[in-house]
Structures are given as structure tokens and as C-alpha cells.
Amino acid sequence: MSYSQLDRPVQFLKGVGPKRAEAFPKLGITTARDLLYHLPRRYDDASTVEPIGRLEVGMDGSAIGRVRSKGVIPTRRGLRIFQAVLEDDSGIITVAWPGQPWLDRKLRKGDVLLVTGKVRFFHGRQIQPREFTVLERASSAGPAEQAGIDRAEPGLVFVTYPATEELPQWVLRGIFEKNLDALLGWADDDEYLSDEVRARLDLPGLGEALTLLHRPADIRDPERGRRRLAFDELLFLQLVQARARRHATEMEPGIAHERTNELVRPLHEALPFELTGAQARALREIYSDMQSERRMNRMLQGDVGSGKTAVAVFAMLLAVEGGRQAALMAPTEILAEQHARGIRELVEPIDVDVRLLTGRLGARERREALEALASGSAPIVVGTHALIQEGVEYDALGLVVVDEQHRFGVKQRMALLERDDARPDVLVMSATPIPRSLAMALYGDLDISVLDEMPPGRTPVVTAVRDPDAREAVHAFIREQVREGRQAYVVYPLVDESEKIDLLSAKQEYERLRAGPLADVRVGLLHGQLAGEEKDRVMRAFAAGAIDVLVATTVIEVGIDVPNATVMVIEHAERFGLSQLHQLRGRVGRGRAAGHCILVADPGEDARERLEVFRSTTDGFEIAAADLRIRGQGDLFGSRQHGKDAMLRFADLMVDDDLLIVAQRDARALVTRDPELERPEHARIRAHLSARYRDRLALYGVG
């Protein structure tokens, strides 16, 4: 790309200089472009800024005025209050900052402030600002000859930038005043969208978008500008993922599985149930991928119990009837064993061999299993990740299914695709329902099938929220269920008691329950600090019914499937995210008997409202959407979600899903047309991608 002025270091801009340049990196700014993309964090509509004379007691408003006098006022109770008197052409008002005497050193007579807050009556009209900004700095010479305040022209909007101690608001404003014309003039150097594409999406050009954000004429302008930057961000992320997708699926041919219906049809006829509409749809998508030469890299998303395993079994049979082998990997050995049992049951009528390969096999059994895989005499194998990691050889591996894929990161997912002996199709299953937009953003390199329909005849789990002082009744309920032959979980957020937080912990409560309320039943303890073998032993004992009540931390979220367990008690439920609660609730109600989920939570907090959302629905997608709304997308992208490093700085997945869909489609089409982005018209995109998205490209192994 031709060199742009925007690539110049920020210190060459007017009013910056070497000293201030040192303060910029803290704001994530090193180049002129960074400064241009340093956008206001707040907009105040000038039409809501009142002339000071018109501020009335009781009003919640904003005002702009010059500091006429100021000082610290001590009170009888030792509190020191900083006060300033602001004036404009229409009048004066007192502004008070209790407990902030240090502001006296920060603010000068003659400074112009924007203050926002409630007007009260206290020796006259007074504002205690929620927020304030120094719009203009008095010269150090003092306020002697101040011109009138440059008050809002009609339609003007005041902007407030993210600032720091070293680069306060008024300094930033000064720097923008001197440079913004030039910066905005260079903005279109980066433009990579054609007029036609922009018109189609109704998005402004870069220069215009940034003008709308820095110098809005109307309070609605910034949103229009933001949408443009949001689209850019989504498009570039999707480009990274589209390249990963191409790398995984198209660069070299995969397997075109042959469908003979030799196994798939008999299984359909033998199944004791009809597939749900969602299962049938997912299978059509999977079959179509598998039969094509293009390698499949697909995610099957669906709540616990939505029938993912059944879908996976059909996919595996398609591979087998076409002469290949299929492997299913579970996150734990116990789950692998359970899967093997369940799959054997399903395919029993059509007589297909299902091998189990885990660390528990004896040496001889293991050798036999490995030989069967290498010779091709074992068509289906179930195990843990060891199945593909430890040099297990296959005669003709055609499909790999990964269960509970959310436990594995992008890296592991990519490693899975890097076998050099074969290019098996890949189906990853996830029981963590997430809104479609989030799935597209996180897993843009995959194709996605969703099971959004539950098989009929399931009794939904009944959920109740209880106060801590109802615990006795909860324990009585557990005892009653155990008497009826059922089992229960009691989950705590902590392993050990902590001095700092007054929470019940698994270890201590295990001792207490065992000695008291649950003395007459068999209680077990499970948490992440136990040695692997011990964990395994406890889970097996619970699965076998040798333990009635399992006291645990969230380690049970994945890794165990016990249809006889009917009660899930979650202590300090307010501590858990909704999606996590949903995973825990999914552990019960898996058998014929009705399931009960009891949330024990302190009353009177916001949390109760959250828990009420959870109580009122069992739809995982609805819960995930609520979680996204409540917690925000930041949490869901992990830790690097702040400032310039944030994966999504401008886009909001809850509102920009329309842009996301277009971004994914366009990105995929672009990578198909011009995989290396070599065409001259794509030069800017390529430059931007390698300059800004190097880390992400490397993460996906396509750097």
C-alpha cells in the first residue's frame, strides 16, 4: 500500500512533540491513524445543555460555563468540598465536589467546564456533577480578558474523549482542534469499500464516518459513523476466519463420501423415534458436506438433550457405509465410555462394531483395538483426544466428531485439522447454546448447524429459587428423592473456604452435610483439585449409584451423565453466569423422571432478577441471549477485550447482526475469488489485514 500520512508517528502532529508523544501509548495511540480512531466516549446534545440562568432545582441537566471563582470549603464534619462558581451570559451557578479538595489544584479560574448532574437547592442553586469535562483551559496568565463562551450553536453536539492524567480532556481537545481537519482529510486513504458496496449497505465512507464520530452535527450522527467502523471490524475478522476456513476445507481436496444407504436407511427404520425437524435439517447439511469433495468443518450446536449424538451417529454411518472409519472424541474418559454405550445401543439393530479406546484398557485389549483401527476392521471408535494425538493409526479415517468442543480453543481445533495422513471431515458438537450472531463471530471459520428443537416428550426440569434459610427444606427434599432411589448434586462455587468471601465451599459443606442433614445417605465429594484418579473414582461411583448425593464444584459441568440424578442444588447461585447455570441444570432431567433444579441465593439483589429470567425458561438460546445482554460481549471474548486490543471495539453483536451476516458472506466470497488478496483492488484490504490482524491470522495458522 502506498504510504499514508496516517502511518506517521503521532509526535509529528501539531501540538504533540516528544514529551506528549510519550503519554499517548497509554491510550493505545502511536500513529496518526490511532489518533484518528481515538473516538469520543460520550456525546452531549447541545440542545440539552441549558443556559445556566435557566437551570431549575430538580432538573437533571448539563451546563457549560467558565469558572469565575473557586475554593475548598471545610465542613463541620471534616469533609472538604471543592466548589466552583460557573458563569455564562445568562447567569451563575455553584458546582460542588464533596470529598475532592484536590480538584482545587486541577482547575483554574477561567477554565470552561461542561458539567452534568442534578440541580438542587443548597444556599442557592447547586450542581454536584456526575460527570464533568474541561472543555477549554484558561491560559496560565490568568483569566483576565476572557472572551464570551463559545456556546453551543444549534444542532451542535459536545464530545468527550477517553483521557488520562497526562493527556487530560482539554489537551486532547486542543490536539484534535489543530489536527482533525488534516486527519479527516487523510481518512479516505484507507478506504477499501467501493462506492457501490457502500451504497448497498448504506454505509458512509471512512472520512465521512469519522467526521460523524468526531464532529457530529446531530446526536444521531455518531451511530451512523459507528456502524461503518463496526462493519469494517466484522469484515476483517470474518476475512481472517474465511482464510482459516479455506485453509481447512478447500486448499486440498477432502473425502467425497459415497452414500449407499446400506447403513443409514436401516438405522432410520430401526430407530424407536422420528428425527426432529432440526435433526433432519442438520443431517441434510452434514450429508451434503460429506458427499462433496470439499472437506467438512462444521459445528453442530444444540442444547443438552437436543439429540446431537443421534445426528453424529448417522454421520458416522454415512462414513462407514462409504468404506471409511469414524472416530468420536469426548472430553473425559467417562463420557467416552457413556457415549460408546449409548452409540452401541442405537446401532445394535444394524450390527455395527463400536470400539472404545481409553486409558483403562489393558495392554492386550489396547493392542487389539489399535490393530483393528489400523487394519480397518473397526469402523467406529470412541475415546478421548488421545484418539488423534498419540499416533493412533487408521486404515481410512473419514470422519472425526468432537463432543463438547467449547472446552477446546481455536488452537486445538486447528491442530485437529492438521493430520497429514488423511483429511477426514470434522464435525464439532457444542452443547453451549450461543446466539447465532455470537457463533458467527466466534466460529466464522466453521459452518454451523443448529438443533433448536427438543425431541418431544421430555419433561422440562422444574426450577425454583430459594432463600438460604430454606436450606433445611431443600435437604429434606434431597433425602426424600434419595429414598425414592434418585440421586442429587449439590454444587458450590468454591473448593475451599476463603477468609475474604463469605461463601459456602464444597469441602466444608461436604463435611457438614455428611455429619448433619445428609447423615443417613451416601455423600461424595468432587472438585477440580482432586487427583485425576480420585476424580474418576468418585464419578464412577456416582454413575454406578454407589453415591447418592454428590457435593461438587463446577467440574461436573461437563464430564458426567447420570440419568438417575434428578436434583441439582446450586448454592450461591447468584455467583454463576446464566449460561453456566444452564449447563449445570442440564445435568438433571436426563432420564424418565422429572428433574428439579434448586437455586439457593441471597434475596434482594439484582441477581434475583437474573435468576428469575433463568427460572422462567429452559431454552438455552434464550438464556444465552439474556446472558449476552446482561454481561456484555466482552466477557465472551476472553480477557483481551479492552481498548485498542479489543476484538470488537465498535461492533455490538446484539445490534449489528445484519452487518455480521453481510460481512461473513462478503468475506467468504472475497476469499473464494481472490484467496491471497493479490488483485490490485484488494491491496488495501491485504495491507490492513497484515498490519492489524497478524496475531489473529497466526492464531488460525494462516498468517
Say how far apart CA 309 and CA 311 lie, in whole Å: 5
Question: Helix, strand, or coil here: 91?
Answer: strand
Minimum separation from the CB atom of position 491 to ligand ADP (A): 19
Can residue 212 be called a binding residue for ligand ADP (CB under 6 A)? no
The yes or no reply on residue 405 touching ligand ADP (CB under 6 A) is no
Near ligand ADP by CB under 6 A: residue from 61, 455, 517, 591 = 455
Task: Measure the CA angle with vertex 56, ends 53 and 62; round to 5°.
Answer: 75
Stretch that binds ligand ADP, among 232-240, 271-279, 591-599, 626-634 (CB under 6 A): 271-279
CB of 427 to ligand ADP, least distance (A): 12
Residue 37 in grid coordinates: 480512531
**Are the beta carbons of 339 and 382 closer than 8 angstroms?**
yes
Place of cell 476483517: 236
> Shortest approach of ligand ADP to residue 590 CB, angstroms?
7
Residue 454 Ramachandran class (φ > 0 left, ψ -120 to 50 alpha, else beta): beta
Cβ distance to ligand ADP smaller for residue 169 or 306: 306
Q: How far apart are CA 482 and CA 548, in angstroms?
A: 7
- How many residues lie near ligand ADP (CB under 6 A)? 15
- The least CB distance from residue 162 to ligand ADP, in Å, is 44
Q: For the CB of residue 274, give the shortest distance to ligand ADP in the complex, in Å.
A: 6
Residue closer to ligand ADP, measured from CB, 308 or 684:
308
Helix, strand, or coil (residue 131): strand
Give the residue with the Cβ less far from ligand ADP, 115 or 304. 304
Nearer Cβ to ligand ADP (325/583): 583
Nearest in space to 35 (alpha carbons), one of 176, 232, 185: 176
| Least distance (Å) between residue 301 CB and ligand ADP | 10
Backbone φ/ψ region at 24: left (φ over 0), alpha (ψ -120 to 50), beta: alpha
Q: What is the dihedral of CA 107, 110, 115, 118, to 10 degrees?
A: 100
81 binds ligand ADP (CB under 6 A): no
CA-to-CA distance for 689 and 695, rounded, in angstroms? Answer: 10
Distance CA 423, CA 399 (A): 9
- Which residue among 62, 133, 238, 276 contacts ligand ADP (CB under 6 A)? 276
Q: Which is nearer to ligand ADP, 310 or 551 (CB)?
A: 310
Nearer to ligand ADP, 49 or 401 (CB): 401
Asked whether position 620 contacts ligand ADP by CB under 6 A, the answer is no
Residues 306 and 451: beta-carbon distance below 8 Å: yes
H-state helical runs in 465-619: 471-483, 506-515, 532-543, 578-585, 606-616
CB 569 within 8 A of CB 598: yes
Question: Minimum distance from CB of 260 to ligand ADP (Å)?
Answer: 24
Residue from 31, 211, 279, 437 in contact with ligand ADP (CB under 6 A)? 279
Nearer to ligand ADP, 211 or 279 (CB): 279
> Least distance to ligand ADP from the beta carbon of 306, Å?
4
Position 152 contacts ligand ADP (CB under 6 A): no
Shorter beta-carbon distance to ligand ADP: residue 455 or 577 = 455
State the cell numbers at 255.
Answer: 473425502
Rounded CA gap, 425 and 25, in Å?
45
- Report the C-alpha gap between 403 and 317 in whole angstroms: 17
Nearest distance from C-beta of residue 619 to ligand ADP, angstroms: 14
Alpha helical stretches, state H, 617-693: 620-631, 657-673, 683-692
Binding part of the chain for ligand ADP, among 275-283, 411-419, 472-480, 695-703 by CB under 6 A, reads: 275-283
Site string (414-453) toward ligand ADP, x via CB under 6 A: -----------------x----------------------
Report d(CA 289, CA 266) in Å as an integer: 22
Q: Cα separation of 310 and 326, whole Å?
A: 14
**Within 10 Å of residue 677's Cβ, how many Cβ atoms?**
20
Q: 305 or 632, CB closer to ligand ADP?
A: 305
Q: Is 660 in the site for ligand ADP (CB under 6 A)?
A: no
Residue 618 engages ligand ADP in binding (rule: CB under 6 A): no
**Whole-number CA gyration radius for the chain:** 31
Applying CB under 6 A, the span of 61-69, 239-247, 274-282, 410-418 interacting with ligand ADP comes to: 274-282
Looking at the Cβ atoms of 428 and 607, the one nearer to ligand ADP is 428
Question: With 0-12 CB in 10 A as exposed, 13-18 as middle and 19+ as buried, what is 612?
Answer: exposed
Contact 243/289 with Cβ under 8 angstroms?
no
Closer by beta carbon to ligand ADP, 24 or else 443:
443
> Which DSSP helix (H) or strand (E) runs through 74?
strand 60-74
Contact flag: residue 39 with ligand ADP (CB under 6 A): no
As measured in angstroms, the least distance from the Cβ of 270 to ligand ADP is: 12
Q: Which is nearer to ligand ADP, 309 or 481 (CB)?
A: 309
CB 394, min distance to ligand ADP, A: 24
- Least separation in angstroms between residue 457's CB and ligand ADP is 7
The residue among 91 and 305 lying less far from ligand ADP, judged by its C-beta, is: 305
**Phi and psi torsions of 297, nearest 5°:** -140, 85
Range 344-348, long-range pairs (CB < 8 A, 24+ positions): 346/267, 346/271, 346/309, 346/310, 346/313, 347/267, 347/313, 347/317, 347/380
Place of cell 454411518: 317
CB atoms within 10 A of CB 580: 18
Shortest Cβ distance from residue 455 to ligand ADP (Å)? 3
The reply to whether 121 sits near ligand ADP by the rule CB under 6 A is no
Which residue among 46, 149, 219, 275 contacts ligand ADP (CB under 6 A)? 275
Q: Smaller CB distance to ligand ADP: residue 149 or 275?
A: 275
Smallest distance, ligand ADP to C-beta of residue 500, A: 38
| Residue 48 grid coordinates | 440539552
Restricted to residues 292-311, the positions that interact with ligand ADP (CB under 6 A) are 302, 304-310
- State the nearest-atom distance from the C-beta of 177 to ligand ADP, in Å: 59
Is the CB of 556 or the CB of 653 nearer to ligand ADP? 556
Binding site for ligand ADP (CB under 6 A): 273-276, 279, 302, 304-310, 431, 455
